[in-house]
């Protein structure tokens, strides 16, 4: 189990990670989301032992994780960390980059392992290409294969798919998380892509201004967000005063576009714009003083009527 206790870190006077505590079970996949600058990357670096915390403690299986003050070479053997800059060796081949940390004693096993990992990230055909000749997305895939090479117990991934095109991203991310689940590797990854965090995480951690403000399942985060900030991080959201529906409790509702259903009766709204989404349309509609986003199967113009799923 990974245990983070009251971890704090500042750059000068700027508090970047503030009394963060949480724990992660072996084999769990946890995503860390939050606005740019909220402290996600710094948190990963602290966990890996690249930075010395100002206060607080970290443990993996009850063993303390210590920062660079205590290590000649920062970082822990049982963990691998994939930074946003990939850290590849530019003048050697893709295969050599992936096998960089593997023993040369059993050459056949090493070659098999490298091949297996290159298949996982769909880079087999580039095995003999020098890393410096790759595109950003290809480099990221090689870097992913490399951090898996020694089968770490804990994998820390900082925006691991950010450079990979959407054509391959879904497939490669599914391969990677399936592999980690199968091997029982504990994964913490940061992401700015709601789908990634929602699809692959057992739980999502939400950071805001250095504070951990929520740790919950994707379902809880998506369907029952506690704040507008949390709601907005995981997709389009409509924030609607309940007064618009004749209530006087002074609350607001957080509604996803799919929770607003176009119907023959109900509340009336005016279509402002329609966006084609492939599997349907996203309508921007004017309702009272707000602009709402509504999912629709077909394109609409003019006035529509809508109901809200489960409105009590
Ligand atoms: N080496 C550094 N020196 C000083 N300040 C830094 C340094 N690295 C990061 N920061 C600051 O620390 C804060 C948190 O940065 P961090 O990279 O952890 O955020 P993040 O949530 O990962 O952002 P992003 O999503 O943009 O990658 C930011 O305000 C950033 O400017």
Q: 311 or 88: whose pLDDT is higher?
A: 88
Residue nearest atom 30 in ligand 1 by C-alpha distance:
37
Q: Residue 285 — pLDDT band, cuts 50, 70, 90?
A: very high
Q: Which residue, of 187, 205, 231, is where some domain finishes? A: 231
Contact assessment for residue 131 and residue 97, using Cβ atoms and an 8 Å cutoff = yes
196-238 pLDDT per residue, tens:
999 999 999 999 999 999 999 999 999 999 999 999 999 999 9
pTM for this entry? 0.91
Assign residue 71 the CATH number of its domain: 3.40.50.300
Give the per-residue pLDDT at 311.
Answer: 55
Same domain as 290, residue 223 = no
* CB-ligand 1 contact for 41 (6 Å cutoff): yes
Same domain as 257, residue 172 = no
* CB-ligand 1 contact for 11 (6 Å cutoff): yes
Q: Residue 312 — pLDDT band, cuts 50, 70, 90?
A: very low
Per the listing, tokens 């607003």 go with 260
Ligand 1 center to 137 CA (angstroms): 23
**Would you tell me how many other CB atoms lie within 10 Å of the CB of residue 67?**
17
Same domain as 44, residue 7 = yes
For a mutational test of ligand 1's pocket, the pick from 9, 20, 33, 39, i.e. the residue with the most ligand atoms closer than 8 A to its C-beta, is 39
Assign residue 255 the CATH number of its domain: 2.40.50.140
Same domain as 301, residue 181 = no
ipTM score for this prediction: 0.97
Q: Across the chain, how many H-helices and E-strands are there?
A: 8, 17
Range of the domain at 247: 236-308
Ligand 1 center to 197 CA (angstroms): 20
* CB-ligand 1 contact for 16 (6 Å cutoff): yes
* Cβ contacts of 304 within 8 Å, gap of 6 or more: 262, 268, 269, 270, 271, 283, 285, 294
């Amino acid at each position: 189990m990974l245990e983070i206790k009251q971890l704090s870190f500042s750059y000068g006077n700027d508090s970047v990670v503030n009394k963060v505590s949480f724990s992660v079970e072996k084999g769990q996949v946890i995503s860390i989301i939050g606005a740019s600058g909220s402290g996600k990357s710094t948190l990963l670096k602290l966990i890996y032992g690249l930075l010395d915390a100002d206060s607080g403690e970290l443990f993996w299986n009850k063993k303390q994780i210590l920062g660079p003050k205590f290590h000649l070479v920062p970082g822990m053997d049982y963990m691998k960390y994939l930074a946003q800059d990939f850290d590849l060796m530019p003048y050697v081949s893709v295969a050599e980059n992936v096998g960089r940390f593997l023993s040369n004693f059993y050459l056949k096993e090493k070659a098999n392992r490298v091949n297996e990992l290159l298949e996982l990230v769909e880079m087999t055909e580039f095995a003999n290409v020098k890393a410096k000749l790759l595109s950003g997305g290809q480099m990221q895939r090689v870097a992913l294969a490399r951090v898996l090479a020694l089968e770490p117990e804990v994998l820390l991934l900082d925006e691991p798919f950010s450079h990979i095109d959407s054509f391959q991203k879904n497939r490669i991310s599914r391969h990677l998380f399936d592999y980690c689940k199968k091997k029982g590797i504990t994964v913490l990854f940061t992401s700015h892509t709601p789908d990634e965090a929602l699809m692959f995480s057992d739980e999502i951690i939400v950071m805001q201004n250095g504070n951990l403000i929520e740790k919950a399942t994707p379902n809880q985060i998506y369907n029952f967000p506690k704040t507008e900030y949390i709601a907005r991080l995981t997709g389009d959201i409509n924030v609607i005063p309940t007064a618009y529906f004749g209530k006087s409790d002074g609350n607001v509702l957080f509604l996803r576009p799919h929770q607003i259903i176009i119907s023959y009766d109900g509340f009336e709204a005016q279509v402002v714009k329609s966006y084609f989404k492939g599997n349907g349309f996203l309508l921007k509609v004017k309702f009272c003083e707000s602009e709402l986003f509504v999912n629709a199967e077909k394109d609409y113009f003019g006035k529509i009527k809508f109901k809200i799923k489960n409105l009590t």
